[in-house]
Chains A and B, each alone.
Chain A
Amino acid sequence: MSRRPEPMQVVKQRRDGLLSALVQTIPFAAFLGVQFDRRGDELTAVLPYRDMLIGNPMLPALHGGATAGFLEVTAVVGLTWSILWPQVEAAGEDAPDPAGIALPKTIDFTVDYLRSGLPRDAYARARVNRSGRRYASVHVEGWQDNRSRLFAQATGHFLMPEPKDG
């Protein structure tokens, strides 16, 4: 006997609640102003433009450090989301409290600067290429106006948090 599907709003609220709890776990994400747009399980990180993010006022161009920070936030959130999503979907109405989400630690992070970041909004998506019990490898693509013209990409390796005992 199958259960009746939950109302769409309930499901949506739980997913959005989990995502916002995850992002709020990272104070630096709020400092940078990173937001996440969710379509099903797919996340797009958005970095709304602010003058604070400029590194070269003469061009002007986004600071390489701001770009790197944006991509690393995207990678950490994307990786953690990929772990949390199936857990919360499986739990359904009994979804666990999203408070106290454990984050992976960055082992290394390599940013490839393909063109200068323009003074406007930037977007990024993370792809988890390998997610093991202990290590994960994540690739991030960042773009601005044109999805196929990346302004930066990055690859990072992460140490997964120790699973919590019940």
Chain B
Amino acid sequence: MASSDIARQFMSNLPYNVALGIEIDDVRDGRAQMSMPYDDRFVGNPAQGVLHGGVVSALMDSSAGAAVLSHPDVMSVVATLDLRIDYLRAATPGQRLIARAHCYHVSRSVAFVSVQTFDDNTDLPVATAAGAFAMDGSAGKEAT
């Protein structure tokens, strides 16, 4: 099975992704796109109806993990080492969030990923993230 198929299969069944309604739009060759619907339960600041950062974190962490898993040089992913998220602007209430992750470098034991998240406005991201993932060649396919 190609690594992209493994990534897709693994990521589509994660309970927390299901709970948030996160869907896989595309995964291949170190790139992944995932999206999720707006939901009132995920709001962090009701005054503005803005989604909580923790929701954006989950979407970006998942898409980053999928991007690493689908990278042709990656045999296994153990875990997220770190993920830094910059919140550029508030997500517009009611709009779907779309995260695009790119695993742009893989060393022997670490994979580096950048992620951008958009709503309907695709000119300026809602958030950008940089992540590092630890990989272990001896373990099976495991992520985040």
Contact = CB atoms under 8 A, between A and B. Distances in A.
A57 B13 contact: yes
Interface in A25-41: 25-32
Do most interface residues of chain B lie in helix, strand or loop, or is the interface mixed? mixed
Contacts of B60: 65
Nearest to B44: A28
B86 interface: yes
Interface residues of B, number: 41
B32 interface: no
B16 A53 contact: yes
Contacts of A105: 45, 87, 90
A70 B57 CA distance: 10
Interface centre among B54, B61, B82, B84, by most A CB within 10 Å?
A: B54
Interface residues of A, number: 41
A103 interface: yes
Contacts of A32: 54
Interface of A: 25-32, 51-59, 61, 63-66, 68-70, 72-73, 76, 100, 102-103, 105-113, 116
Interface of B: 13-17, 19-20, 40-47, 51-55, 57-62, 65, 79-87, 90, 140, 142-144
19 contacts: A26-B45, A27-B40, A28-B52, A28-B54, A28-B55, A31-B42, A51-B15, A52-B16, A55-B15, A55-B16, A56-B143, A63-B16, A64-B79, A72-B52, A100-B47, A107-B87, A111-B80, A111-B82, A113-B82
